[in-house]
Each structure stands twice: as structure tokens, then as C-alpha cells.
């Protein structure tokens, strides 16, 4: 569910983009965080914890806690609340311990590290 109108913010819905989450197509809007897009699509569990295998999801929504970790385009440990959706992005739930990231410059958000 997306907010359709807002009394102060205008142009809430920019260009629609499509990405996949665990093989399912999800439609979001340019400029939207991955966490926001997944929540709007009804996805609340983004993976499982390392030690107990318990469900994980968005907790702080500010990039501080690391509870919303997912795998994006093969890169593990990406915070869903701190990355914007992009057309064609491939996202998977991060189940337990992720694999070690590849050493290259094609990081999902162009930053120094994942």
C-alpha cells in the first residue's frame, strides 16, 4: 500500500520501477527505499537471524541496526532501509549467515563497502 496523496508533499509517485524479491516481481517508485517498497508490497520478513533462525525485518528504518539485511544483486548484508530501489534489481532474503561479498566495484549502491 502506498500513500496516494499528501497535503504537503507533492509528486509522491515518480517513475514506477520493477525489481524482484525472492523471484517475485515487485513494483515500486523511483526514490523509494527498498524496505519501503517491500513493506508496501506486504513483505515484512526480510530474512532470518544468524544464531536462532528467527524472522528479521525493518526495525529502526534509519540504517543503524542492521536488522533489515538482504542480498542485492549478489551482494549480501545490504540494509534494505538504506538503499533505493532500481529497475531490474534482484533482491533475496538473507537467511542466516550470508556468503562473503565479491571483491569488485559493482556494489549495489556505489558506496565503499557493502
Give yes or no for residue 113 having a pLDDT over 80: no
Using CA atoms, how far apart are residues 111 and 114, in angstroms rounded to an integer? 7
- Residue 85 within any structural domain of the chain: yes
Average pLDDT over residues 61-69: 85
Number of domains in the chain: 1
- Residue 38 within any structural domain of the chain: yes
- Residue 106 within any structural domain of the chain: no
- Residue 5 within any structural domain of the chain: no
Using CA atoms, how far apart are residues 72 and 26, in angstroms rounded to an integer? 14
| Phi, psi for residue 39 in degrees, rounded to 5 | -65, -40
| Boundaries of domain holding 67 | 16-95
- Residue 56 within any structural domain of the chain: yes
Q: Which helix (H) or strand (E) holds 39?
A: helix 34-40
- Residue 7 within any structural domain of the chain: no
- Maximum average pLDDT range among 45-54, 80-89, 103-112: 80-89
- Residue 25 within any structural domain of the chain: yes
Amino acid at each position: 500500500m502506498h500513500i496516494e496523496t499528501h497535503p504537503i508533499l507533492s509528486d509522491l509517485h515518480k517513475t514506477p520501477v520493477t525489481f524482484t524479491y525472492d523471484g517475485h516481481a515487485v513494483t515500486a517508485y523511483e526514490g523509494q527505499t527498498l524496505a519501503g517498497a517491500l513493506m508496501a508490497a506486504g513483505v515484512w520478513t526480510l530474512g532470518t537471524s544468524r544464531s536462532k533462525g528467527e524472522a528479521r525485518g525493518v526495525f529502526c528504518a534509519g540504517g543503524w541496526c542492521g536488522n533489515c539485511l538482504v542480498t542485492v544483486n549478489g551482494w549480501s548484508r545490504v540494509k534494505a532501509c538504506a538503499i533505493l530501489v532500481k529497475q531490474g534489481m534482484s533482491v533475496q532474503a538473507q537467511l542466516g549467515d550470508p556468503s562473503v561479498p565479491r571483491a569488485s566495484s559493482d556494489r549495489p549502491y556505489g558506496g565503499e563497502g557493502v
